[in-house]
Amino acid sequence: MQFPTIAEFLPKAFLFDGTPFAFNRIQLVRFVMIAFVTVFFCTVASKSLKRAKAGNVVPTKPQLVVEMLFDFVRNFTFDSLGEKTGKKWLPLVTTIFCSVFFLNLSGIVPGLNIAGTSGMGIPFLFAVWVFTSYWREGISSHGGGIKGFFIFMKDELFPSGLPIFVYPVYAVVEFLQVILIRPASLAIRLFSNMMAGHMLLGICFAATQGFLIGAPGISRLMMPAGVITLAGSFIFILFELLVAALQAYIYSFLTVSYLETSMAHEPEND
């Protein structure tokens, strides 16, 4: 019986070892999932286009699933960003939602067994993308250029209506938020969630094997406990499914809300 350790997330590279392109198990899983997503969406899109050209507008089942997914993302994006800005950032939010969801899902796909997002790489990459996006949105919606940058910073750090002695503290905290805490918390949240899920599943499986089949140091009287851990592993697989969807939702929803806070607000809306 072997319990999972931190080494699970730093597997040995099996291709191009020692170069910057070192290729390990988690990266292979990422490639498989991304290939699946790309092929799936492309086939669904081309098929539905072909059907639409032939005059058949009744959607097929896979098309319905994809449309529901896109509609869900579009709804919460438009709800907080509005139609115009929402349309501008919809590709970003949809891409993040779909890729994070499918990469999370690979944690419970038999044979892959590790979430593509349980390394720091992918969450970090998306966090950098979100970071640049809300800075761009903030600067361009406040007028653009250097002037836009200063107005954006003034709006973020020194909003009107606060007591004067709060400003020094507020500005520092808010500056840290904009520059570090927002993207870092996005990345750490996703990464550690998927890591915790993988560890939980690993511990359930290892304990089941130890209790039911036997391992040195474990008495045969412990067999009933194995039944509980076996049931636990089924339950936690379902739980991981929930977490995969929830984390994808939270990641993209927070992206939207960061974009929304850096947007220039009309005076009459406040």
| Interface positions with another protein (CB under 8 A) | 6, 76, 185, 188-189, 191-193, 195-196, 246, 249-250, 253-254, 257
Q: How far is the CB of 65 from another protein (least distance, A)?
A: 22
Q: Which is closer to another protein, CB of 222 or CB of 250?
A: 250
Q: Which is closer to another protein, CB of 44 or CB of 115?
A: 115
Q: How far is the CB of 138 from another protein (least distance, A)?
A: 19
Q: Name residue, tokens 């115009």.
A: 84
Q: Which is closer to another protein, CB of 78 or CB of 253?
A: 253
> Long-range pairs for 27-30 at CB < 8 Å and ≥24 separation?
29/106, 29/112, 29/114, 29/115, 29/116, 30/103, 30/106, 30/116, 30/122
Q: How far is the CB of 244 from another protein (least distance, A)?
A: 15
Q: Which is closer to another protein, CB of 139 or CB of 244?
A: 244
Q: How far is the CB of 254 from another protein (least distance, A)?
A: 6
Q: Which is closer to another protein, CB of 7 or CB of 221?
A: 7
Q: How far is the CB of 190 from another protein (least distance, A)?
A: 9
